[in-house]
Every structure is written in structure tokens, then in C-alpha cells.
Structure 1
């Protein structure tokens, strides 16, 4: 658990530790690791713009120490800088800054390789695949996913790279048989794997979300809806994962039950403040409005109007909405 004041307090503790040991220390490495864990576990509790500023400030504090630290301490600090860069990449993506996401995630992956942190390399590659998929760059998306799978430890990490990174690309390319193979393999892993919490973890709710989206992409609408419902049931209410699964369900229902689909989306907009609405949710909402006919659906017309009035996540002057 954390509070709004608990978030900057983590950065302040790192600042005091740097002042206490400007040349670095084993304690500072341990604190940096704890800070990464805090940010990862509480990722969904804060607006992305707020968390972005805190993670950036903490990374900058650590960067002032690396050059003066001994070799082992510097390596430990660089690993945590890599994980913080991975967080920044994901936050940039959720703020609709795809170019910034690529920059941060590329750095994270490079640090993962130079420090021997295989899990960081794998996760960063998966996130880069996600960014490439969002811009419909299937060649790079698949390349990043396969690179991540080469580095992913067996078990849950492999399931994560399969479901999160490779599956969306295969579905988008229409490789239904290969996509089904990936679902089968990752489902088998998930049946016996222990879930990992937090931004760098993976659980059954998230896995079912990616499977549902793959079925949606392959135009298997009934299967997409069924799997999306299992994701909704497994996700805590009103969290970003719950929002994502709810909107995937709405997309799957849009053709046969447009009013119900629009109603689900309107409920999301009623419950989630704009600052907490990730760019991924906004993209799904935009897709839904394109599928609905506002002239034929009062709820569809209301949804289109609500989306037009929704403030952008970042204003034109670069500040958070």
C-alpha cells in the first residue's frame, strides 16, 4: 500500500542516501532496488504523469553516483537505473509518447544486456514489441518479441513474452494457427506458474486480456468476449487492467450489442478520472466509437461526444492535463 505523500517520500529517501554516500554503497544499491519495487508495485495507484516525474527524479539521483562508485556498486546501481528506465518507457507509452517510450526502453534493454540482467532485457524487449505493435510496425514488433524470448527465464517470464509481446503480432498478421499455438503454450505455463505482482510481473488477469485481444483481432468476437469476461472477473475493480478488459469486452460486443458496448464505455468514463485514463484505454475507446453508429445509438452518440470533450493526457505546452 502507498499514499500520495508516500510516493515522493521514496525519492526523498534516495536523495538522503546519496548525500550520505555520494560515492555509492551497498546500502544505496539496496535502497534503489527497494525504490524500483515500490514504483513497480504501486504503478497503477498513481496518475502516469505523477509517477513519471518521481521515477525520473530518482533515476537522476542515482546517475550522479555511478561514476564515483566502485565497480560492483556501480554495476548494482546501473541495474536499477535500467529498471527505472523501463518504468519510464512504460509510463511514456501510457502518456501517448511512443517515441519517448522507445528511447527509454532501448536504454533499459542495453543496460540489461551490459549488466547481465536477463529479466530486464526480456521485459524491455517485450515493451518495445508493444510500442511497435501500437504503430503497426509488425516486423519490428515480432523481432523485439523474439529477442525478448531468447532472454526470458523459463516459466512465468516466458509466458509473459508469449502473451504480451508475440501473440498480438501474430494475431495482427493473421497467423491464426501460430497464435493458437502461443495461447496453448502460455496457458499451460500459467496453469502452474505463481503470479508476480506489479508492473514487471504478470498474472492471469493480464494474460487473459492479451488472449482476448488476440481473438478480437482475429475477429473471433464470441471467444474474445468470453475471455475478456474472465479477465474482468480476475482484475480488481476500477484498476487499469479492469478498464482494459472492460473495453475489450465492449469492442467484442459492438457489432451485436452496440448500446450495451457503449454503455460499458460510458461507465468507464464515469468511474475513471481523465488523468488516470491511460493512452491505451483512450485508443480502445476511439476504436469503439468508430465501430458504433452514433445516429443509430443514443449511447453511441453520447460516447462520441464524451470522447471529444476528453482532455488530452498531455497539453500542448507539455504539462499534464
Structure 2
């Protein structure tokens, strides 16, 4: 658990360690690793714009130590930490609809991961780059990133993550159903065999997340019945009112929209009631748009209410560069 004041407190601890050892050392490395872990585990507890600023500030503290580290080992470990922090920044930029910023941060993360030989970091970044490419409608590029990440994965769970998060949706968007089925079967088996049943945090992977990606894949492939079942499973497995819950609920609403427009619009309205605007990620905003599109010309009260709420929804970042507020 963390509080809003816990974010700057972690950064302050890293700053104090660097004041004591400006060029790094065991304590600075430990604090940098703990900082990455703290941000990753608490990623979903804070509005993206606030967490982005914190991660950015923490990474900036490492600049001098990265430039002139106390020794080679310290330099390598700090580059590793800076790579993970850059990966977080890329993901946060994506969730703020800043795709060009996401590409820049992820490119830095990829470079650090390759430089220090961290296969987990390198594979995860390739998955994130695939996610950004899909959002930019670069489907073949997205698949190439995804497949490279799956090949580089450092563990069975890591491979399950790359298959479910990156390869499966890329294949589904390309309409390659048979391959998507095979990838899904492998990912499901790998996740089921994991002794812990998955891992928490931004860099982790679990059954509700796989259910979400499977549901979206079935939607893309026109299998609404299967999409509904997997979206329902994902929603049931998520803590209520979290970003994962919002994503699964909106995928379920999109799948239901053609046959049950009133129920679908009510689900989308519930997300808007439960999740403040500053916590709505770009991905949820895009899913809201997809729900509205799937509702077509339905003219009932809940659908009209949803369209009005969406028109009034502030952008994640306004024309002055300010983040959305609730």
C-alpha cells in the first residue's frame, strides 16, 4: 500500500542517498531498485499525470551518478534502474495519450536493457513498444515487436506476458485467428503452470490481465460470445474500480452493445461514475469511444446520457499541457 505522500517520500530517500554518495554505491543502487519496485507495484493507485512527474523526477536524480559512476558495477546497476524507470515513463506517457513521448522513453529503456543484458527489461519494453504501435495502427510493426519480445522473455511467466499482452492482440488485429488460438493456448498454459499464479505490478502479469487481452482479441476476430465470457472473467478477477476493472468493464460493454445497448451504456456510465477523469487512462478513453461507436444509432436514455458524458469528458492533457482533473 502507499499514499499520495508516499510517492515524494520515496524520491526524497533516493535524493538523500545520492547526497551521501553522489557517484553511487551499494545504498544508492538499493534505493534506485526500491524506487522502481515502489512505482511499479503502486502504478495503478495514482493518477498517471502525478506518477509521471514522480518517476521523471526520480530518474533525473540519477544523472550525475550515471555519467561518472563510482565503479563499473555501480554504473551497470544504475543503468538498469534508469532503464526500468524509462520503461515506466513510456507506459505512463502512453496512458496520457502521448504516443511520441512513449516512443522516446521506451527507446531509452530498450537501449539500457540491451546495454546491461537485462532480458526481462528488454522483453518487457518490446511488449510496450508493440502496444504503442498497435495504438498507432502500425499492425505489422506491432507484431514484429511482440514476437521479438516473446523470444527474448527471460522466464515462462515473462513469455506468457508477451504472448498475451503483445502477440495475441497483434495477431487478432491482423485477423490471423488460427495463430491467435495457438498463442492463447501457450500463454494460458504458461500462466497456469506458474507457481505463484502470476506477479503483481506494472511489470507483472496475471489471469485477469490475460482474460482482458483474450476478450479484446475475440472482439477483433468477431467472436462476441467468447469476448463476453472472458471480459466477465476479467472483471470478476479485478479489484473493483481499479484501471483493470475499468478496462474489463468497458470491453464487456463493447461486446454487449449491439444486442443490449441499454446494459452496455449503463456499464460505461458506471465506469465514468466510479473512476475520476484524472485516473482515466488513454486506453480506457479509447474503449469508451469504442463502446459509443458500437452503440450505433441506439436512441435510449442511457445511451444519450453516455454520449453527453463523453462530450463533457476533459482530455487527459489539455492545450496548456495540464493533466485532467476530476
Q: What is the TM-score when the length of structure 1 is the normalising length? A: 0.99
> RMSD between aligned alpha carbons?
0.8
Does the CA contact (< 8 Å) of 1:86 and 1:105 recur in 2? yes
Give secondary structure in 2 for the equivalent of 1:236. coil
1:145 is matched with 146
1:217 is matched with 220
Give secondary structure in 2 for the equivalent of 1:79. helix
The alpha-carbon deviation at position 293 of structure 1 amounts to: 3.6
**Structure 2, unaligned stretches of length 5 or more?**
none
Give secondary structure in 2 for the equivalent of 1:96. coil
2:270 is matched with 267
1:124 is matched with 125
1:155 is matched with 156
Give secondary structure in 2 for the equivalent of 1:199. coil
Inter-partner Cα distance in structure 1 for 2:74 and 2:87:
20
Matches within 5 A, 1:59-208: 59-69=59-69, 70-193=71-194, 194=196, 195-208=198-211
Does the CA contact (< 8 Å) of 2:261 and 2:303 recur in 1? yes
Does the CA contact (< 8 Å) of 1:63 and 1:81 recur in 2? no
Inter-partner Cα distance in structure 1 for 2:238 and 2:188:
17
1:285 is matched with 288
Inter-partner Cα distance in structure 2 for 1:301 and 1:244:
21
Residue 47 in 1 paired to residue 47 in 2? Answer: yes
The one of 251, 254, 257 aligned to 1:254: 257
Does the CA contact (< 8 Å) of 1:294 and 1:301 recur in 2? no
Does the CA contact (< 8 Å) of 1:36 and 1:84 recur in 2? yes
Does the CA contact (< 8 Å) of 1:92 and 1:101 recur in 2? yes
Residue 4 in 1 paired to residue 7 in 2? Answer: no
Residue 226 in 1 paired to residue 229 in 2? Answer: yes
Aligned pair count reads: 321
Residue 312 in 1 paired to residue 304 in 2? Answer: no
Does the CA contact (< 8 Å) of 2:151 and 2:159 recur in 1? no
Q: Deviations over 1:117-141 (max 9, x none)?
A: 0000000000000000111101110
The alpha-carbon deviation at position 295 of structure 1 amounts to: 5.0
Does the CA contact (< 8 Å) of 1:235 and 1:241 recur in 2? yes
The one of 234, 242, 247 aligned to 2:245: 242
The alpha-carbon deviation at position 97 of structure 1 amounts to: 0.3
